[in-house]
Amino acid sequence: MRLSAAILLTAATLLGGCAGTNKEYLPTPQYTVVQPPANFYKCPSVDAALKGIKPEELTDNQVATLLNRLAHDNKTCAQSLATIRSYLSEASKTYTQ
């Protein structure tokens, strides 16, 4: 009888310890989505440069002008992507510290 009372008392004590109100929770990770501003996306469309142009009817001068425009548009797009990379790199440094 004493043994069963002791086991019952021990079990009640152990279970009572689990019912306490001090609960520790693992911290929830905080995620932040960094979105570059819309004006950073400056990549002119090739379709816009070629709109209304029939390649077989182009003169040499028009081909040269088109190539210059495409080269300029490519630089504009490359600069835009470099700006986005820089922006995201700086944002990453802010959130990893």
For residues 6-23, average pLDDT: 63
Q: Could you tell me the two tokens for 76?
A: 């504009």
pLDDT digits (tens, 9 = 90+) for 32-56: 788 888 888 888 887 777 788 888 8
The per-residue DSSP string of 7-74 comes to: HHHHHHHHHHHHT-S----PPPPP-------GGG-----HHHHHTT--GGG--HHHHHHHHHHHHHHH
Distance CA 67, CA 59 (A): 12
Q: Could you tell me the two tokens for 44?
A: 């002119």
pLDDT of residue 27: 84
Evaluate if pTM is beyond 0.75. Answer: no
Through-space distance between the first and last CA atoms of the chain, rounded to whole angstroms: 62
